[in-house]
A and B are shown apart, each in its own frame.
Chain A
Amino acid sequence: EDQVTQSPEALRLQEGESSSLNCSYTVSGLRGLFWYRQDPGKGPEFLFTLYSAGEEKEKERLKATLTKKESFLHITAPKPEDSATYLCAVQGRTSYDKVIFGPGTSLSVIP
């Protein structure tokens, strides 16, 4: 059964304090791993897709990396506007029509 877990559940950082969010997954053949950002009261917003171990993607202060069992979302020198919930999701090769989401990590960046 495809499964996604995320840690920590919540993270509080000072502005400028870099850190990483973890996404661990179990899937029968990875088709793609996705990162989303969700602001309160809004729908998730797509950030990245990673397809194979060793791949990396960057966008502003965010960098996503992928291994065979987990993905990390590194946040470098975060700002208050980076505060949001970050969701990880996977799509398996045998369930290409479905994407399984993790519970998310709630990030707060304090000025």
Chain B
Amino acid sequence: NAGVTQTPKFQVLKTGQSMTLQCAQDMNHNSMYWYRQDPGMGLRLIYYSASEGTTDKGEVPNGYNVSRLNKREFSLRLESAAPSQTSVYFCALGGNGYTFGSGTRLTVV
């Protein structure tokens, strides 16, 4: 989606491995969000950042960490991946109606 770039698009991890999901924007929004989407459960908020330098936990933060390095970038890190973290991860920008990235499909085996 225009303005929000997520990398990678697909990833397979083994249990216990670590990885960082990257999100970058060029829309100059202060607020950025990480959601995960699982079948039948909708989008659930993992972490969010209301502005550069600040981060807060959402509904399902356990097993994740985030970094808001600057206004453009908001990364999500899995330190020790578990099968329960198999999901599709979306980065979103705040505003009157969020702008979402195209997602990262993560499988943990």
Instruction: Convert B39-70 into 0s and 1s, putting 1 for each residue whose CB lies closer than 8 angstroms to a CB of A.
Output: 01111110010100000101000000000000
A44 touches B100 (CB 8 A): yes
* Chain B count of residues within 8 A CB distance of the other chain: 25
* Chain A count of residues within 8 A CB distance of the other chain: 23
CA distance A41 to B37 in the complex (A): 11
B101 cross-chain contacts in A, Cβ below 8 A: 43
Instruction: Convert A29-67 into 0s and 1s, putting 1 for each residue whose CB lies closer than 8 angstroms to a CB of B.
Output: 000101010000111111111000000000000000000
Assess whether A110 is interfacial by the CB under 8 Å rule: no
A104 cross-chain contacts in B, Cβ below 8 A: 42
Q: A interface vs B, CB < 8 Å? A: 4, 32, 34, 36, 41-49, 87, 89, 97-104
